[in-house]
Chains A and B, each alone.
Chain A
Amino acid sequence: MSAVLDRDRTLTRAREAAAAVVDPELPMLTLADLGVLRDVTVDDDGAVVAAITPTYSGCPAMAAMRDDLVRELRAAGFADARVRVVLEPAWTTDWITPAGRAALAAAGISPPGPAPQRSGPVLLRLAPVRRAVRCPRCGSDDVTVGSEFGSTACKALYRCRACLEPFEHVKEI
């Protein structure tokens, strides 16, 4: 019985250590908030495997995330820590937690709306994307999209017409 309890405690500790690692490009978000940490397991010998999924195929933050996870798990006492990649199912912004969305907004980044759902072929959108986006600075909904591509793969560039400030929006995928 106590062996089972010990194991549960070890697993909880490993999960907490992995879940606290932050995204290198969005440091206000933990990997758990971002939804890229998919699983943490501990085997009988105490080896930890953390499973992460990439946000975008070319996301350059993946290597840093792996290094950070291994470092934090080692610091938490897990000498044998490894990271494996999960490709399926593909990451979606719907996995960003409510706490993660609040942290984005508090940092001046507009959180994503619901990810697009579809059945059938992907439709071409020749008109600008319409989103219910509010300026994270002043709260105005009088905003305009500057570009669907921002400083990182996951963000679009917006400008607020009320306070005239630019801001970033995490785009839905």
Chain B
Amino acid sequence: MPDVRTHEPDDHDNAYAGLLVNDTHWAFGTDFEDPLAGVDTTVPDGVDPATLAAYCLMLGDDALVLSQRLAEWCSNAPDLEEDIALSNIALDLLGQARLLLARAAAADGSQVPALPDGSPVPDEDRLAFFRDAPQFRNVRLVEVPGGDFAQTVVRILLFSSWRLALLDRLTRSRDGVLAAVAAKAVKELTYHRDFAGRWFLTLARGTDESRRRLVAGLDALWPLWSELFETHDVERAAARSGIGVDPADVAADVEAVLDQVLAASGVDRPAVAPLAAVQGDGAAQPAHGRKGRDGGHTEALGALLAEMQVVARAHPGGQW
């Protein structure tokens, strides 16, 4: 006969006991909630659902992967204020990713990985945690390893300047959900870009060492810059049907913002060639090779995803 406890364990047995008694404000233990509950997710007339979903995945994966990279700074930033700032930016991007992946799933469920029957994992989490690197559609700028604080500032400046311009135009999308997600994101990205722009200036005008690190960070990320403005077939189709934005169309505006920061900082544009596409792995691929939007990634994405996905994959039936 098994040993049966006949008394209530005292509180020393459970470090969490005090937290959970009579406290209704803890969000854990609640059911998953659809972030688009009650939102009209009808695909607009004349729009291909698969194109809308693929386009949302691109914008969602950009935000998700950079959010994960920025979260690596949590408890590691140069001071408490910057630690909190980077976590805030990561959280905003995670929220944008959640809405965009949920929108992708609502438009075309065929892209959502299948899990065992009865799994409580919601669609946006299936997309985040149960796809492999070749299925991710993010640009490669967001996946490369973090580097130091200066390089992180450069990455946020490059990314948020580009994304702000894209999403500002996306507020006029024919898809009401995308337009609404973009309108909220624009307000957040404005703070992200200002944060990075000010730190860029501060580091450029600081010490020789801070300036050296800033310029090195810019040189390191510059090969990934031009990829942001290359139009993928999905983006072209999305722009044509009035739901998306062709990234080539925002290039002039974004370069003007970057020039403004570089001029104020006295930093030149780097003379570094773009990073080549992934070539010749036998898969069907465009003649130019595969870049981030085609699922052609650097090795770093695999390691990032392994860390991000391990817990969810170990418990595909888990409830959090």
Contacts and interface: CB of A to CB of B under 8 A. Distances in A.
Interface string A69-107: 001000000000011111111110000000000000000
B24 A126 contact: no
A67 B27 contact: yes
A87 B185 contact: no
A125 B194 contact: yes
A35 B217 CA distance: 41
B27 A64 contact: yes
Contact of A67 (B30, B190, B253, B260): B30
A62 B33 CA distance: 10
Contacts of B186: 122
B260 A124 contact: yes
Interface stretch (A9-17, A131-139, A141-149): A141-149
A57 B96 contact: yes
B184 A91 contact: yes
Contacts of A67: 24, 27, 30
Contacts of A86: 38-39
Contact of A59 (B95, B164, B176, B260): B95
A148 B191 contact: yes
Contacts of B88: 149-150, 153
A62 B36 CA distance: 12
A57 B94 CA distance: 8
A66 B95 contact: no
A26 to B, nearest CB: 13
Interface string A3-25: 00000000000000000000010
Nearest to A92: B187
A28 interface: no
Given A59-B95, A121-B168, A157-B81, A149 B184 contact: no
A62 B188 CA distance: 17
B308 interface: no
Interface in B173-210: 176-177, 179-181, 183-188, 190-191, 193-195, 197-198, 201
A147 B257 CA distance: 22
Interface in B24-46: 24-27, 30, 33, 35-39
Interface of A: 24, 49, 51, 54, 56-60, 62-64, 66-68, 71, 82-91, 121-122, 124-129, 146-151, 153, 157, 171, 173
13 contacts: A56-B92, A57-B92, A58-B94, A63-B33, A64-B26, A84-B37, A121-B165, A126-B201, A147-B81, A147-B85, A149-B85, A149-B195, A173-B188
Interface of B: 24-27, 30, 33, 35-39, 81-82, 84-85, 87-89, 91-96, 98-99, 164-165, 168, 176-177, 179-181, 183-188, 190-191, 193-195, 197-198, 201, 253, 257, 260-261, 264
Given A49-B38, A57-B185, A128-B198, 6 more contacts: A54-B184, A62-B33, A83-B38, A85-B35, A85-B37, A149-B81
